[in-house]
Structure 1
Amino acid sequence: MKIEPFGVEIWMNEYETKCRLNLAETCVESLTIAELLELTGSNTADLSALLPMKMTYGAIEGSERLRNAIAAFYDSQSPQNVIVTHGTIGANMLVHRALVERGDRVVSIVPTYQQHHSIPASIGADVHLLQLQEKDGWLPDLGALRALALPGTKLIALTNPNNPTGALIPREMLLEIAEIARAAGAWVLCDEVYRGTDQEGPGMTVSMADLYEKGISTAGMSKAFSLAGLRLGWVAAPPEVIAEVLIQRDYDTISVGMIDDHFATLALENAGRVLARSRAITRGNLALLAEWIEAEPKLSWVRPRSGTTALVKLDLPMSSREFCTELLRETGVMFTPGSAMGMEGYVRIGYANPPEVLREGLALVSGFLARHGSRISRSQKRAPVSSTASLNWKSGLWRPGPGS
């Protein structure tokens, strides 16, 4: 099976262990096990429950306790509507493989996580992209969606909250998307890995699985729950989808790790506390980021309403990759170039680090913009930086460049 290289993952794999300040990070500042135990009202004595745990395969579909905790995260899902996977990335892969066949019509709303168009394309599906527009606040044009979702469309795929823009599709619009899908007979796959980080109100995005009889929601422990190291996600969907996913899953999963299952259950049973921490971080940091962008004349954006990332437009005579590699070379600060997600002219900034990391990183970027914004011309562009030597790295470590 041939598939397009995964732009964002290639970028992250190449540079995230070599930067000094990772403002490309999309997970809310990760929890330690000690912090998780404290946050959930447990203590280190609870670790003793792991000592007699025999390291065999766990419950194949996920433990009953875990699936109960996941189901409680929704308004109308039961444990029978849930199956546990290796991260949200595994959940998305399984859904696409379970539902999409060669020749099926698939509509993917972009920009998005690349899985949602590259996987169906690799299967041989007839993939149609609906491009979000900045002028629309990065929300989908429903007229354009209706025109693409012809009768017989197999699947409409989207992320909500959106990655990378941070746009949030409200309930009323989700219901309209469901109606468009219903008319076409299509499933709707909604990647909701950032769910729980809304900037206003209680912070919880309504789920597509709860709104539409053919709605499928995927999520996991990485972004909003700050536990990417568990590598645990899930699919919440109608029973017939779960059955098809299980067939696919038997070939690449068997079960998730028992320790992952244990700690994910603990976090989900105390989701209110864990997500309150995440919202405190993302809401405070977005205010810092907004103030900074307001003061930078070369940058503009549509302010995110949820999630952990912002898509920021560059007014500079250089490509997004050139900008990001030069920024890394001089300052050690890492952004994600828009070119890695089909959005040239933009960069994705993650704002879920500790506030002091965000402040330090943004201050360094301001210095970089002040040095380069007025004097870089297209004739002066550097070639894209690709080697560790040209980035002043030695043994995998960032080292200051000129002007740092």
Structure 2
Amino acid sequence: MEIKPFKVEQWMNTYEMEAVYNLAETCVDSMTLRELLSLSGEPEEFIREQLDKKLTYGHIKGSPELRENISGLYETLNPENILITQGGIGANFLLHYSIIKPGDRVIVVHPAYQQLYSVPESFGAEVSLLRLKPENNFLPDLEELKAMVNERTALICINNPNNPTGALMEEELLRDLAEIARSCGAYIHCDEVYRGLCHDENMSVPSIADIYEKGVSTGSMSKIFSLAGLRLGWIAGPEEVIEECFKHRDYTTISCGMLDDALACHALDNYRKIISRNLKIVRENAEILDKWVQGEPYIDYIKPRAGTIAFLRYHLPIPSEEFCLGLFKETGVFLVPGKCFDMDGWLRIGYACDSHTLREGLQKLSEYIKTLI
């Protein structure tokens, strides 16, 4: 199996730990273990409960409590529709490993998280990219999609909200997309790791797993829960898909960590407290970013509607990787070049860090831009 280098991950791995102003991070400002355990008001009780547990493999599919809690994030699913994985990235890989065969036709929106198209390609699928254009607010053109599907189309892959643009497909668009998938019998995989962070408090978008009988959602504790260190994700979908994934999972995972499982349960028991905290961070910081963009003549963007990231277009004669490297070396501000998404002339920014880091980082970014004029 040959696979292309994962450009975003290689970029992050090379520079992230040395960043002074990390505006490449896409998780909402990470929680400390103390902060997480204090949500219930009784952190010592949780710790006491864990101290006497033997560190076995635990529940192979994930604890019943964890799968029950995760199924509660969906409208129509139950614990039998949930399979626990090692992070969202593990969920995506396991799903594709389990349902894609050589020669299958797979359609993936682009730009998107590279794993969603490079992994199917490595398994021998025929991958076609459905281009998301700024003039269409980075939303898919369904007429183009209709022209792309055929009887060999096994999977349509999207992420909602989108990474790197922050574009949001609303329910009507998702239902129209499901009709197209239904016409050829294809699954829809929606990477939903940013779902639940709509900037409009009156907006709520359902999971693809709740509106399409062959819809499969992947999620994680990383982005919207601020708990990337748990390395815990899941696949949510039809029972036949879950069973197929479980069969393949035996060869890759066995189980996730008992402590990760317990901490994730604790977080989900306090779901409303965490989401309230994180929506406040995201919505306030999105306004800080928008005000900065409006005042920066060499930058524009399609304003993100959900999630933690935005895709900035810059109007300067410099490649995006050179731009980001110079910015990093001169100021300590860390962004992701659009080249990592095959879109030079753009920059991905994460704005869900603490507001001080965001404000200072944007100020440094403006100062750097002036040196390029």
- Is the TM value for this pair above 0.5? yes
Q: Which residue of 1 aligns with 2:286?
A: 286
Q: Residues 341-371 of structure 1: CA distance to partner in whole angstroms, max 9, x if unpaired?
A: 1111100000010001100101111111122
Specify the alignment match of 1:9 in structure 2. Answer: 9
Change (3 A) 1:180 1:339: same
Tell me the distance in 2 between the aligned counterparts of 1:14 and 1:107: 30
Cα deviations by residue, 1:54-84 (Å, 9 ceiling, x for unpaired): 1110100000000000000100000000000
What runs of 5+ residues in structure 2 fail to find an aligned partner?
none
Deviations 1:25-63 (A, max 9, x none): 000000111111223444333211110111110100000
Matched, 1:347 2:347: yes
Partner of 1:394: none
In 1, Cα distance between equivalents of 2:202 and 2:12: 32
Give the structure 2 partner of residue 300 of structure 1: 300
Deviations 1:168-219 (A, max 9, x none): 0000000000000000110000000001111012564310000000000000
Runs of 4+ in 1 over 4 A off after TM superposition: none
Helix, strand or coil: the match of 2:18?
coil
The SS at the match of 2:312 is: strand
Which residue of 1 is the match for residue 67 of structure 2?
A: 67
Contact between 1:85 and 1:233, CA under 8 Å: does it hold in 2?
yes
Instruction: Please state how far the C-alpha of 1:271 moved relative to its aligned partner.
Output: 1.4
Distance 2:212 2:144 in 1: 20
Q: Which residue of 2 aligns with 1:319?
A: 319
More helix by share: 2
Which residue pairs with 2:269 in the alignment?
Answer: 269
Q: Report the equivalent of 2:201.
A: 201
Residue in 1 that maps onto 2:80: 80
Amino acid at match of 1:347: L
- Distance, in Å, in 2 between the alignment partners of 1:207 and 1:164 is 19
User: Residue 400 of structure 1 corresponds to which residue in structure 2?
Assistant: none
Question: Greater relative contact order (Cα 8 A, min sep 6): structure 1 or 2?
Answer: 2
Aligned residue in 2 for 1:383: none
Over aligned residue pairs, what C-alpha RMSD do you find?
0.9
For residue 160 of structure 2, what is the amino acid of its counterpart? N
Distance 1:343 1:41 in 2: 46
Does 2:150 align with 1:150?
Answer: yes
Alignment of 1:160 onto 2:160: yes
| Mapped partners of 1:364, 1:212: distance in 2 | 45
How many residue pairs are counted as aligned between the two chains?
373
SS state at 2:216 partner: strand
Q: Alpha-carbon deviation of 1:275?
A: 1.0
Segment of structure 1 superposing worse, 269-278 or 40-49: 40-49
What's 1:38 paired with? 38
Q: Is 1:247 aligned with 2:247? A: yes
1:151 deviation in Å? 2.4
Q: What TM-score, normalized to structure 1?
A: 0.91
- Aligned equivalents of 1:84, 1:204: Cα separation in 2: 25
Task: Report the equivalent of 2:371.
Answer: 371
Contact persistence 1:40–1:273 (CA under 8 A):
no
Aligned residue for 1:5, secondary structure, equals coil
Q: Matched residue of 1:107: which SS?
A: strand
Q: Distance in 2 between matches of 1:104 and 1:303?
A: 35
Q: TM-score, normalised by structure 2?
A: 0.98
Instruction: Return the letter of the residue paired with 1:109.
Output: V
Alignment map for 1:121-132 (pairs within 5 Å):
121-132=121-132
Give the counterpart letter for 1:32 in structure 2.
Answer: T
Q: Would you say the 8 A contact 1:112–1:164 is kept in 2?
A: yes
Cα distance in 1 between the residues matched to 2:250 and 2:14:
31
User: Quick one: distance in 2 between partners of 1:43 and 1:244?
Assistant: 38
Distance in 2 (CA, whole Å) between partners of 1:343 and 1:286 is 23
User: Counterparts of 2:231 and 2:41 in 1: how far apart (Å)?
Assistant: 23
